[in-house]
Amino acid sequence: MSYVFNPPAVASLPVLGRGERFPIHRIYCVGRNYEEHAKEMGFTGREPPFFFLKPADAVVAVEAGSTAEVEYPTLTQNLHHEIELVVAIGKGGKNIKAADALQHIYGYAVGLDMTRRDLQNEMKKQGRPWCIGKAFEQSAPIGPITPAAQAGNIVNAEISLQVNGADRQRSHINKLIWNIAETIEHLSAAWELQPGDLIMTGTPEGVAAVVKGDVLEGAVTGLTPIRLQIV
């Protein structure tokens, strides 16, 4: 098959202990999925889950042991960090029941949902889609995927982010409002999940702005941490 121009390379992530990489299909993100973060954003309670998407090429693959460079994006004066557990789907399906959801998971990774908060907030005020605040280039730095069998007790793992060595976000995965299995059930009712899909499961409280020169270090117990610098 020929194309009018050379297609871009497939977006992918490294896999712990393997030479093959994980090809990315779609990136689904869960909004306000930790109670304390929901409160700091002006909401409370266990509202029905909602989702937004990022393009696959928003990913910055953060290799193990390296410091990735992430460019400060245009049009914003208020770039926020959001540390997240990322779920990698290895087996697709639709209308997946929560009881069966874990069978569809290939592995887990540490990720950041970088957010142009000022642009997002302005779109919210106008009642317009806020893709411009979430789905821009390099808005999803993600580390290597750890296969599920090697990830340990991910449900009770600690999740944290440090900026320039100081704690910004720290919580536990068991504080998710909608847990991993429930999230997959809701998502697969709306979209047919495919191998290669990533789910960014939400961020805990403590989101804040970063500036050029800041070094971010994110971790989830049992997974490869990520380190990046805003340039």
Between the alpha carbon of residue 205 and those of residues 35, 55, 125, 175, 220, the distances in Å are: 8, 25, 22, 11, 15
Residue 192 has pLDDT above 90, yes or no: yes
Please give the Cα distance from 216 to 207 (Å, whole number).
Answer: 12
Q: What are the structure tokens assigned to 154, written together?
A: 């991910």
Task: Name the burial class of residue 42, with classes exposed (0-12), middle (13-18) and buried (19+) by CB atoms within 10 angstroms of its CB.
Answer: exposed
Q: Give me the chain's average pLDDT, please.
A: 95
Triad 137, 141, 145: Cα angle to 5°: 135
Give the angle 62-37-229 at the CA atoms, nearest 5°.
25
This prediction has a pTM of 0.96
Which tens digits make up the pLDDT trace of 22-52? 999 999 999 989 877 667 766 666 678 899 9
**pLDDT at position 48, please?**
82
CA dihedral 116, 117, 118, 121 (to 10 degrees): 130
Decide if 216 contacts 131 (C-beta within 8 A): no
Q: Mind listing the pLDDT tens digit for each residue in 131-179? A: 999 999 999 999 999 999 999 999 999 999 999 999 999 999 999 999 9
Q: Which residue type occupies 191?
A: W
Comparison of pLDDT for 47 and 206, the residue scoring more:
206
Q: Which two tokens stand for residue 201?
A: 């499961």
Region 46-62: what's the mean pLDDT? 93
Amino acid 136: pLDDT:
98
> How much is the pLDDT for 45?
64
Q: Which two structure tokens, joined as six digits, stand for 45? A: 């309670």
